[in-house]
Amino acid sequence: MSVLDKVQLPKDIKKMNNSELDELCADIRELLVETVSETGGHLASNLGVVELSVALHKVFNSPTDQIVFDVGHQCYTHKILTGRKDRFSTLRTEGGISGFVRPVESEHDIFSSGHSSVAISQAIGLAKAKKIKGEKGKVIAVIGDGALTGGLAYEAFNNGSYGCENLIVILNDNNMSISQNVGSMSKHLTTIRTSKQYFTFKAGVRRIFAKIPKIGNSVNRLVTFINTEIRKKVYHATFFEDLDFRYYGPIDGHDIESLISVLTAAKTHSHSVLIHVNTIKGKGYNPAEKNPTQFHGIGKFNVATGECVSGGKNFSSAFGDTMCSLAEKDGRICCVTAAMAEGTGLSNFAKLYPKRFFDVGIAEQHAVTFSSGLAKNGLVPVFAVYSTFLQRSYDQLIHDVAMQNIKVIFGIDRAGFVGEDGESHQGIFDVSYLNTVPGLTVYAPSCYEELSLMFGKAIYHDNGAAAIRYPRGKENEMPEDYHYDKSDYSVFGGVNSENCIITYGREFSECYAAYKELDSTFIIKLNKIKPVEKSILTLLADVKNVYFYEESIKTGSVGEIVAAMLKENNIDVHFKHIAIEDEFVKQATIESQIKTYKLDRDSIVNEVSNV
What's the CA gap between 6 and 27, in Å, rounded? Answer: 11
Residue 437: φ, ψ to 5°: -95, 110
Q: Which of 364, 475, 510, 551 is catalytic?
A: 364
Q: d(Cα 233, Cα 218) in Å, to the nearest integer?
A: 23
Query: Is residue 385 a contact partner of residue 470, using CB atoms and an 8 Å limit?
Result: no
Neighbours of 3 (CB within 10 A): 19
C-alpha to C-alpha distance for 141 and 129, rounded to whole angstroms:
15
**Residue 281 annotated to the active site:** yes
d(CA 451, CA 345): 13
Torsion of CA 259, 265, 271, 275, to 10 degrees: -20
Catalytic residue selected from 29, 281, 356, 525: 281
Which of 392, 457, 472, 554 is an active site residue?
Answer: 392
CB atoms within 10 A of CB 543: 20
Determine phi and psi for 273, rounding to 5 degrees. Answer: -130, 140
Give the Cα separation of 555 and 40 in Å (integer): 32
Of 361, 334, 365, 506, nearest in space to 431 by CA = 506
Distance in angstroms (rounded) separating the CA atoms of residues 57 and 11? 8
Sequence-separated (6 or more) residues with CB below 8 Å from residue 86: none
- In degrees and rounded to multiples of 5, residue 228 shows phi and psi of -65, -45
In Å, how far are 126, 389, 497, 554 from 545, measured between CA atoms?
A: 52, 36, 10, 19
46 CB-near residues (< 8 Å, 6+ apart) = 32, 36, 73, 74, 75, 76, 77
- Active site (annotated) includes residue 332: no
What's the sign of the alpha-carbon dihedral 93, 95, 96, 97?
positive
Phi, psi angles (nearest 5°) of residue 43: -95, -55
Do the beta carbons of residue 539 and residue 567 sit within 8 Å?
no
Q: How far is it, in rounded angstroms, from Cα 428 to Cα 424?
A: 10
Pairing of the two strands 167-173 and 441-443: unpaired
Q: Please give the biggest Cα pair distance in the chain.
A: 99
Known catalytic residue at 392: yes
Q: What are phi and psi of 469, to 5 degrees?
A: -105, 130
CA quadruple 141, 146, 149, 151: dihedral, nearest 10: -30
* Active centre residues (catalytic): 281, 364, 392
